Amino acid sequence: MVVSMAALATVCEATARQPERAQDALDAGPAESFLASLPLSRTLQKPRSSVSEESSSSQGWGKVVAQYIHDQWVCLSFRLKKYHALIPASEGALLDPELPAVQRPGRTLQCALDALSVLPAPHVLPVLRCMKTLVPKLLASSESLCIEAFDTAWKIISNTSLSNTQLIFWSNLKAFVQFVFDAKVLTIAAKIQGRAYLKIKEDESVAKSRTRYYVNSQQHRVKNRIWQVLLVLFPRFDQNFLNRIIDKIFQAGFINNQASVKYYIEWIIILILHKFPQFLPKFWDCFSDGEENLKTSICTFLSVLSHLDVITQNIPEKVSFNYKFKLDDQNRILTWCGFFHVEHPRFSAALPLPPVHTHVDTGAQEGAPARTCA
């Protein structure tokens, strides 16, 4: 089994280097059937030996297993490259029993992660090549699995103790860079963020077309769909992309006056601040506009502030955060609590006041200087 796998891997490597010669090859049916039955997750059984030989041969057997797994993935890499057009974007019905590894890409990628966890650095190159073929197909449907693939591959590359020679390290690094920065992977990510940016621009154009709109109007329905799509796309946003659009999202909180649309905007602001607390200073700046301009729009940001416990979960140094932000801005909330003639902002300001006050007290008890609100 080990010898036949090594021979087949050699044939696959030779064919991959000179694909024009494969056109004149003999019938490859037996080899194709053998590749289709590759047991990717099955342990290679060690031959029986005497007790005296077992201890001395254990290290040598480990090398045999590593080479066998390496040869498996050499063959599979050749097969995936040959049938890459048949790889589906998600798991589905097995259309061809001869192509299980090709038509079940999610399971194959998981097997690749398992192989990386046991293979030494000199043998991971064909696994990385397989992942380069599989990840672009799965990025839209199995994002978490693809991210795990990126992380696992980087751990293998960055752990220099696994690399025996510089030649091995640089060849693995080259495969990793080709895998992570593949044009298809970058294009998929750009398309996702591009759709989000277009939705925000669409919201701006709808807002400019009519300053006021009513429930169930065309503008109202369009805005609802825009922010629903943005919420669905949010898990794929990164900090660099949010740096470009965060001001537009906060501006949308000022100009939208329908409750259902405001709820979606509040929700996405809460998610942003929870995942990326570095945007909190920009959020606090939204309270600094003149009172006349904030009579109704301030309610959106006050409602977000009601979820302060959720927003601050990912802030490691909460004492300094409490002192820097909440102590200063408790005065602002108290100002809105006493803002006369407009009942809605007064009511909205009363909701976040208890959690903010609780955080201020907690910060003082943990060592931050205590201050009172005037």
- 198-232 pLDDT, tens digit per residue, is 666 766 676 666 555 555 567 777 787 788 878 87
What is the arithmetic mean of pLDDT over 355-371?
Answer: 51
More confident residue, 38 or 370: 38
More confident residue, 153 or 355: 153
Q: Do residues 255 and 305 both lie within one domain?
A: no
Asked whether residue 8 carries a pLDDT value surpassing 60, the answer given is yes
Calculate the CA 179 to chain-centre distance. 16
First to last CA, the chain: 81
Q: Write out the two tokens for 32.
A: 């194709």
Asked whether residue 111 carries a pLDDT value surpassing 80, the answer given is yes
Q: Backbone dihedral region of 315: left (phi > 0), alpha (psi from -120 to 50 degrees) or beta?
A: beta
What is the arithmetic mean of pLDDT over 81-95?
Answer: 64
Asked whether residue 40 carries a pLDDT value surpassing 80, the answer given is no
H helices of 181-307, in order, are: 183-209, 218-233, 239-255, 259-275, 280-285, 298-305
| Inter-residue contact 17 to 10 (CB < 8 Å) | no
Q: Write out the two tokens for 304.
A: 């977000």
**pLDDT of amino acid 181:** 78
Q: Do residues 9 and 151 both lie within one domain?
A: yes
Q: Do residues 366 and 264 both lie within one domain?
A: no
Number of domains forming the structure of the chain? 3
What is the arithmetic mean of pLDDT over 323-336?
Answer: 55
Long-range Cβ contact pairs of 87-91 (< 8 A, separation 24 or more): 87/133, 87/134, 87/137, 88/137, 89/137, 89/138, 89/140, 89/141, 90/138, 90/141, 90/142
Which residue, 242, 275, 308, sits at the end of a domain?
275
Chain position carrying tokens 């919201």: 203
Identify whether 226 is part of a domain.
yes
| Inter-residue contact 218 to 254 (CB < 8 Å) | no
What is the arithmetic mean of pLDDT over 105-127?
Answer: 88
Asked whether residue 268 carries a pLDDT value surpassing 90, the answer given is yes
Whole-angstrom Cα distance, residue 269 to residue 340?
27
The whole domain housing 353 covers: 293-374
**pLDDT of amino acid 67:** 87
Asked whether residue 161 carries a pLDDT value surpassing 60, the answer given is no
Q: Write out the two tokens for 207.
A: 């807002």
Identify whether 207 is part of a domain.
yes
Identify whether 281 is part of a domain.
no
More confident residue, 263 or 87: 263
pLDDT, one tens digit per residue, over 273-294 is: 999 988 988 888 887 765 555 6
Identify whether 345 is part of a domain.
yes
